[in-house]
């Protein structure tokens, strides 16, 4: 008998214009003094102001931190947490992409727990204990990470030069507000790469092996894949199409909730490693590795890879072999990447040497051990080279 479980990590308010509930929500939660967290990009496009206004109208005293950096570092998280602690805030409110939301999670953890963020980095299999945080409202402006609904946060460990995660009840949002209007200003490349991250979460969640696999994550992921395949190309080409933005924002949340329960595996282990070596955005490096990861794992989980392919619109001959299922699905993913104009590693300006050298980091990555099929170093190097060359 297989026993699995599924948790929804945050209540969600969603739909165009849903940030309008912020004033009422802040009052209902009794928030008096909050740290508002964002980055300079969010400030520049005027989104921070859209959040500041209703909070001030609700009578909330705001302390603001605008120093979030992509792939947030332990240094910036400790800095934001000091500001929050010094001002004795009773809530954390974040508006931005995964980097901002993860920074909020780090701040929230440090508001009710001692020390620095690095004290809480997960060193498998040990998860450091921590208490729940204060009230936290997360408002995504990209449609990719699903961080608003996950219990993990990801940081750059500047001492050991690697990405590290925390997992804590303090990482759970009190509410997530998903307003697609906020993502309508994302440029095409950011739309494509963050959307591809959501697709990778859904695909890797479906193809993970028991006991992590569960039926609710699978259903969430199927819906996320269906909507991303249909609406992400529209959002890339016409950013102001609110229906497409909404479908992508919700798909990101569904895929985030799915993988928060199952975890992701080989594609992300490859992607994190390339990203750490080349300082590439998360969505770009985890997007370009997905096809080859599916091609490799297909003989371990052929029915699940087939389900991914079918959900992306493929049909398979009866009795199709795992190798055929893997290759056709991988080719479908590559065709989708071209359709949304996701940059390749060559477009990014990476060298083949650097990409293959990222192989050293793969076995140490936090999700590597969840690959449905074991993989040796020679094969990792071979696959990273093939991802760079764009061949199988």
Ligand X SMILES: NC(=O)c1ccc[n+]([C@@H]2O[C@H](COP(=O)([O-])OP(=O)(O)OC[C@H]3O[C@@H](n4cnc5c(N)ncnc54)[C@H](O)[C@@H]3O)[C@@H](O)[C@H]2O)c1
The partner in contact with residue 102, picked from ligand X, Zn ion, none with C-beta cut-offs of 5 to 8 angstroms by kind, is ligand X
As given in the structure block, the two tokens for residue 199 are 């697709």
How many CA atoms lie less than 13 Å away from 293 in the CB half-sphere? 27
Residue 185 within binding range of ligand X, rule CB under 6 A: yes
Contacts of 387-391 spanning 24+ positions with Cβ under 8 A: 387/270, 387/288, 387/289, 387/292, 387/345, 387/355, 388/345, 388/346, 388/350, 388/352, 388/355, 388/356, 389/352, 390/334, 390/344, 390/346
Q: Are strands 135-140 and 61-65 parallel, antiparallel or unpaired?
A: unpaired
Of the pair 42, 165, the CB lying nearest Zn ion is at 165
End-to-end CA distance of the chain: 38
Distance CA 217, CA 369 (A): 19
Distance CA 247, CA 244 (A): 5
The partner in contact with residue 153, picked from ligand X, Zn ion, none with C-beta cut-offs of 5 to 8 angstroms by kind, is ligand X
Q: Among 19, 31, 111, 154, indicate the residue that binds ligand X (CB under 6 A).
A: 154
Stretch that binds Zn ion, among 78-86, 151-159, 171-179, 280-288 (CB under 5 A): 280-288
Q: Among 90, 148, 197, 246, indicate the residue that binds Zn ion (CB under 5 A).
A: 197
Stretch that binds Zn ion, among 60-68, 180-188, 281-289, 348-356 (CB under 5 A): 281-289
Stretch that binds Zn ion, among 132-140, 160-168, 191-199, 377-385 (CB under 5 A): 191-199
DSSP 126: B
Neighbours of 115 (CB within 10 A): 13
User: Applying CB under 5 A, what is the total number of residues that bind Zn ion?
Assistant: 2
Of the pair 30, 46, the CB lying nearest ligand X is at 46
Residue 71 within binding range of Zn ion, rule CB under 5 A: no
Residue 152 within binding range of ligand X, rule CB under 6 A: yes
How many CA atoms lie less than 13 Å away from 244 in the CB half-sphere? 20
The partner in contact with residue 287, picked from ligand X, Zn ion, none with C-beta cut-offs of 5 to 8 angstroms by kind, is none
Stretch that binds ligand X, among 8-16, 39-47, 120-128, 382-390 (CB under 6 A): 39-47
The partner in contact with residue 141, picked from Zn ion, ligand X, none with C-beta cut-offs of 5 to 8 angstroms by kind, is ligand X
Burial bucket for residue 226 (CB in 10 Å: 0-12, 13-18, 19+): middle
Q: Among 48, 74, 90, 98, indicate the residue that binds ligand X (CB under 6 A).
A: 98
The partner in contact with residue 183, picked from Zn ion, ligand X, none with C-beta cut-offs of 5 to 8 angstroms by kind, is ligand X
- Least distance in angstroms from the C-beta of 260 to Zn ion: 11
Window 78-97: residues binding ligand X (CB under 6 A): 96-97
Dihedrals φ, ψ of 119, to 5°?
-65, -15
The partner in contact with residue 166, picked from Zn ion, ligand X, none with C-beta cut-offs of 5 to 8 angstroms by kind, is none
Q: Among 74, 90, 102, 246, indicate the residue that binds ligand X (CB under 6 A).
A: 102
- Least distance in angstroms from the C-beta of 35 to ligand X: 17
**Spatial contact of 384 and 356, defined as CB atoms under 8 Å apart:** yes
**Would you give the distance in Å from CA 61 to the centre of its chain?**
30
Q: Among 109, 110, 138, 190, indicate the residue that binds ligand X (CB under 6 A).
A: 190
Residue 41 within binding range of ligand X, rule CB under 6 A: yes
As given in the structure block, the two tokens for residue 208 are 């993970």
Cα–Cα separations (whole angstroms), residue 152 to 55, 180, 299, 346: 26, 23, 30, 31
Which residues bind to ligand X, rule: CB under 6 A? 39, 41-42, 45, 70-71, 96-100, 102, 141-142, 144-145, 147, 150, 152-154, 182-183, 185-186, 190, 194, 282-283
Which residues bind to Zn ion, rule: CB under 5 A? 197, 286
């Amino acid at each position: 008998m297989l026993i699995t479980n599924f948790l929804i990590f945050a209540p969600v308010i969603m739909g165009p214009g849903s940030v309008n509930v912020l004033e009422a929500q802040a009052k209902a939660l009794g928030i008096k003094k909050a740290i508002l967290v964002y980055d300079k990009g969010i400030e520049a496009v005027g989104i921070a102001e859209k959040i500041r206004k209703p909070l001030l109208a609700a009578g909330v005293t705001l302390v603001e931190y605008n120093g979030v950096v992509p792939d947030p570092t332990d240094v910036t998280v400790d800095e934001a947490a000091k500001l929050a602690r010094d001002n004795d805030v009773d809530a954390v409110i974040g508006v931005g992409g995964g980097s901002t939301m993860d920074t909020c999670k780090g701040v929230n953890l440090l508001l009710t727990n001692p020390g620095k963020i690095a004290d809480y980095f997960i060193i498998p299999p040990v998860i450091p204990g921590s208490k729940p945080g204060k009230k936290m409202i997360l408002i995504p402006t990209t449609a990719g990470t699903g961080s608003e609904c996950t219990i993990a946060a990801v940081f750059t460990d500047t001492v050991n030069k690697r990405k590290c995660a925390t997992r804590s009840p303090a990482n759970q949002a009190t509410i997530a507000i998903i307003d697609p209007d906020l993502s309508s200003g994302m440029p095409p490349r950011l739309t494509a790469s963050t959307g591809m991250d959501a697709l990778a979460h859904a695909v890797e969640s479906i193809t993970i092996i028991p006991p992590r696999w569960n039926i609710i994550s699978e259903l969430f992921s199927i819906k996320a894949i269906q909507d991303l395949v249909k609406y992400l190309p529209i959002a890339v080409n016409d950013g102001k199409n609110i229906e497409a933005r909404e479908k992508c924002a919700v798909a990101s949340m569904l895929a985030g909730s799915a993988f928060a329960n199952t975890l992701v595996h080989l594609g992300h282990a490859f992607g994190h490693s390339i990203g750490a070596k080349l300082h590439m955005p998360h969505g770009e490096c985890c997007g370009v590795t997905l096809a080859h990861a599916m091609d490799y794992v297909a003989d371990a989980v052929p029915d699940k890879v087939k389900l991914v392919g079918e959900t992306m619109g493929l049909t398979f001959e009866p009795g199709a072999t795992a190798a055929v299922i893997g290759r056709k699905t991988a080719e479908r993913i590559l065709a989708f990447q071209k359709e949304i104009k996701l940059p390749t590693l060559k477009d990014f300006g990476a060298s083949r040497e650097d990409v293959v050298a990222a192989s050293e980091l793969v076995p140490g990555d936090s999700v590597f051990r969840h690959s449905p099929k074991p993989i040796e170093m020679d094969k990792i190097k071979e696959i990273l080279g093939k991802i760079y060359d764009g061949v199988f």
